[in-house]
Structure 1
Amino acid sequence: MAFAMFWEILWALILGFALSGVVQAVVSKAEMSRLLPDDSPRTLAIACGLGAASSSCSYAAVALARSIFRKGASFTAAIVFELASTNLVLELGIIMIVLLGWQFALAEFIGAPIMVVILVWLFGRFLSERMVETARQQAEKGLAGSMEGHAEMDMSVTGGSLWSRVTSAKGFTAISHYFLMDWAAVWRDVAGGLLIAGALAAWVPKAFWRSFFFTGHPTFALVWGPLVGPLVAVISFVCSVGNVPLAAVLWNSGISFGGVIAFIFADLIVIPIIDIYRRYYTAPIAWFLTWTMFVAMSVAGLAVEMLFKTVGWVPIERAATITEAHVEWNYTTVLNVVFLALAAILVWRAATTGGFGMLRMMNMSPQTQGGRHHNRPRHIH
C-alpha cells in the first residue's frame, strides 16, 4: 500500500519540487531579513509570500526562520515566514489535490492566512519584549538543530528579468540544486508518512477511529477534530508533505474536515521540532511557540470547516486516495514517466555541477560551514 500511494503521488512530488526550485532560484535569502524588519501587516504579508517561495521542508523552515531572526528580522515575522514555508507552498497543494481533493487544498490555502492572523494576535497579546530578547540571545548562540546548512545556502540568481534568470544556465543549475536539496530534505518524511499511513490503514480498525473521532456525534466532532488533529500530528513525528498520506487515512477513518486541515497545519509542532525550538530559543519560548501554534492551528481548522460548510464545499464522500499495491498503465503512470524524465534531467544537471557535494553541507551548522567558506554556495549574479 505504501508503494502504491507513493506511485500515485510521485509525479506530483516531482512537479512540486521542480516548481519550488524555480521559485527559490529567483528569490534571494539574503533579502529576507531586510524585508522583515517588523510585524506590520505589510511585513507579515511579505513574510507569507517569502515563505510560500521557499522549501517545504519543516526542519529547513525552522532553521531559516532562526537564521533571518539572527540577521535582524522581527521574531513574529520570522515565525510567520516559517508557517508559510510549510503551509503555502505549491508542492503541498498539489499533493493534497491528488490524495484528498481540491477542497482540502483550497482549505489549506485559505486556512493558513487565518492561522497566521490568529497567531499574530496571540503574539501581540502574550509575547513580551523580554521574551523576544531572551529568544534572540539564545538564537545568537547558534546551537545546532537540523538543516542549518540548508537554511544558509543561497543559490538564487540575481540580475536580469525573471524569465532570463530562470532560463539561463546559472538558473538551470540553481533549480537543479534546489530540486535535489529539497528531495534530500524531505524524503524521510515522505517515506515515513507513507509507511505509517499504510500501517494505520491496514492494522487499525476503522471502528476505533470512528469512536476516537466521535463520528456518531457530528456537532461534537466538529470541535473535537481540530483539537485532536494537531495532537495526532505531534506524536506522529512526520512533517513536511509527508503528513498528507496520513491525513488521507485520517479523513477516510472519520476525522472532521477541519481536523484534517489542523492536522496538516501541525507539522511545525511535532516533538523533534519542539526540541529544536528549545535549543534555538530556550524551553519557555519553545513552550510559548507550541501552545500558540496549537491554538492558531485548531481555531483555523475549525474556522475553515465552518466556512466551507456554509458554502457547501465540505466533501460528503470520504474517498481519499489510498490505493492497493499495484501499478497499471493509466494517466498516473504516464505522468510519472514524464516527470521521472524531468527529474533525471535535473539530477543529471545537479550531479555535473557539484550538487551532490552540496548535499554534504545541508546539516552542517553555519560555524562548521565557516571552515569551508570557499565552498559555500552564494547567490549567483
Structure 2
Amino acid sequence: MFIVKALLSAFYMLWEILWPLIFGFALSALVQALVSRRTLARLLGGTGPRHLALATLFGIASSSCSYAAVALARSLFRKGASFTAAMVFELASTNLVIELGLILLVLLGWPFMLAQYLGGLLMIVLLALIFRLTLTRALVARAQEQAERGLSGRMEGHAAMDMSLEENGPFWRRLWSGRAFTAISHYFVMDWAAVWTDVLLGLLIAGALAAWVPDSFWRVFFLSGNPTLAAIEGPLLGPLVAIISFVCSVGNVPLAAVLWHGGISFGGLVSFIFADLIVLPILDIYRKYYGWQMAGYLLLTFYITMALAGYLVELLFSLLGLIPTQRTVAAISEGLHWNYTTVLNLLALFLAAVLVMRFLRTGGLTMLAMMNQSPGELSPGPHADEHRSHEQQKTS
C-alpha cells in the first residue's frame, strides 16, 4: 500500500510537469539547431564581461542535462575557452534553460520561475567575482593538464555532437527547412535520453518522500517554527540535501516541490535547485576531468555561490513581498483531473510522437548509440555526415 501511494504521487507529479517538459525540450532543441557550438567556442577565450555573456547565452541555448553540460564545458576548455567561461556555461546550461523555467512555473508558480532565472544570473556574477579573486593560474594549469588526458565521464558523445545549421540565409527559411526539422528531432530525443534517468529518479524520490515522510518531520528539519532561523538555515542546507540526493538536471524539481511543501525556506529551495552541479556523481566527474584540487575548489566555490544566491534572492523577494505564503502543491495533493493540464499533455505527446518519428526515420538510433561514447571513439563528424545524407535523401 505504501509503495502504491508513493508511485501514485510520482505519477501525479509527472502528469503535472509532462507538457512543460516536452514543450521545453522542443524549444531547447530548436535553439540548439540554430546556434553553432563551433562558432561560439571560438569566442569564449577570456574572462571579460563579453566572454561571460556569450558563455551565458551559449549555456541557455544548450541541453539542460547536467552531465552533458559538464562534458561540453570540459570540451570548450580544451579547445581554448577560459576556465571561468566554461564554468559560467555550466551554470547557465542547468539554471537558465527554457524547460526548467516552464516546469517551475507549472509545478510551483511564477515567483519560483522568476527566482530561478534571477538567481541564476546572480550566481554567474558571483562565481566570476570569486574566480577572479581566488582562482590561480597554477590551479588552472593543473586542471588543463588533467583535462588533456581525455578521461571520460557521462554524455561525452552527446556533448561532442553538433547538428546546428550554419549556412547563411534568412532565419525563417532555415527554421522551416527539412534539415532544421531533422536537427530539432535529434536534439529533442537525445536530450530526453540524457535526462530521463534523472527525471525518473527525481520523481520516485519525490513520490516516496511525499507519501512516506510526515509534514511534522519537515517542519522540524527546516525549522519552520522560527522563520528567521529557517531563512538562515535554508540556503546552507539546500545544497547539502541536493549533494546527497544524486538527482540533477530538471529531475530535482519534483523533489524541490516536496521540500517546499514540507517547509524549506524560499532561499533554501532556490539554493537546492541550483546545486545540481555538485551532486556526488558530478563531483567524481570533476575529479576525473580536472583533478582532486580543482574538484575540491569547484565544490567549495559552487557551494558558496549557490548559498549566497539563495540568500540574495530571499532578501530581494522578501523586500518586494513576492515570497509565496501558500505551500500547497497541486501535483502532491490533487491528483488527476480533466483540465487544461490534460489537454496540453495530449498536445505535447502528439508533438513528441512527431519528433520521435522524424528521429527514427533519419538515422537517430545510430546516433543515440554514440551518446555515451567518448569523442575519441567517434569517427570524424558522424553526426553531421549522417544528418546531411539523410536530409539530402528527403529533399532530393
Query: Do the structures match in fold with TM over 0.5?
Result: yes
Counterpart for residue 276 of structure 1: 285
Normalised by the size of structure 1, how large is the TM-score?
Answer: 0.97
Letter in 1 for 2:93: S
Counterpart for residue 235 of structure 2: 226
Any idea what the Cα deviations from partners look like across 1:241-270, whole Å, max 9, x if unmatched? 000000000001000000110000000000
Task: Name which of 95, 99, 103 aligns with 2:107.
Answer: 99
Counterpart for residue 2 of structure 1: 10
Counterpart for residue 348 of structure 1: 357
Task: Name which of 316, 322, 337 aligns with 2:346.
Answer: 337
Aligned equivalents of 2:330, 2:273: Cα separation in 1: 16
Contact 2:25 2:191 in 1 (8 A): yes
Counterpart for residue 329 of structure 2: 320
Counterpart for residue 6 of structure 2: none
Q: Residues 230 and 55 from structure 1, CA distance in 2 versus in 1: closer, same or farther, beyond 3 angstroms?
A: same
- List aligned pairs for 1:135-214, cutoff 5 A: 135-159=143-167, 160-214=169-223
For residue 10 of structure 1, report the CA deviation from its aligned partner.
0.7
Task: Name which of 111, 119, 125 aligns with 1:117.
Answer: 125
SS in 2 for 1:69: helix
Contact 1:193 1:244 in 2 (8 A): yes
For residue 331 of structure 1, report the CA deviation from its aligned partner.
1.1
Contact 1:145 1:276 in 2 (8 A): yes
Aligned equivalents of 2:381, 2:123: Cα separation in 1: 41
% identical equivalent positions: 60
Contact 1:3 1:325 in 2 (8 A): no
Contact 1:226 1:263 in 2 (8 A): yes
Moved over 6 A (4+): 378-381
Letter in 2 for 1:14: I
SS in 2 for 1:327: coil
Structure 1: which 5+ residue stretches go unaligned? none
For residue 325 of structure 1, report the CA deviation from its aligned partner.
8.3
Any idea what the Cα deviations from partners look like across 1:79-130, whole Å, max 9, x if unmatched? 0001100000000000000111000000010011111111111111111001
Contact 1:252 1:318 in 2 (8 A): yes
Task: Name which of 311, 319, 327 aligns with 1:302.
Answer: 311
Aligned equivalents of 2:323, 2:11: Cα separation in 1: 29
Aligned equivalents of 1:325, 1:307: Cα separation in 2: 31
Contact 1:25 1:171 in 2 (8 A): yes
Any idea what the Cα deviations from partners look like across 1:281-326, whole Å, max 9, x if unmatched? 0011000001100000000011001100111110011123333585
Aligned equivalents of 1:3, 1:116: Cα separation in 2: 34
Normalised by the size of structure 2, how large is the TM-score?
Answer: 0.93
Counterpart for residue 373 of structure 1: 380
Task: Name which of 28, 31, 48 aligns with 1:20.
Answer: 28
Letter in 2 for 1:373: P
Letter in 2 for 1:82: E
- Give the number of equivalent residue pairs: 379
Contact 1:101 1:320 in 2 (8 A): no
SS in 2 for 1:215: coil
Give the RMSD, CA atoms, in angstroms.
1.4
Aligned equivalents of 2:130, 2:112: Cα separation in 1: 26
For residue 146 of structure 1, report the CA deviation from its aligned partner.
0.7
Q: Residues 102 and 325 from structure 1, CA distance in 2 versus in 1: closer, same or farther, beyond 3 angstroms?
A: closer
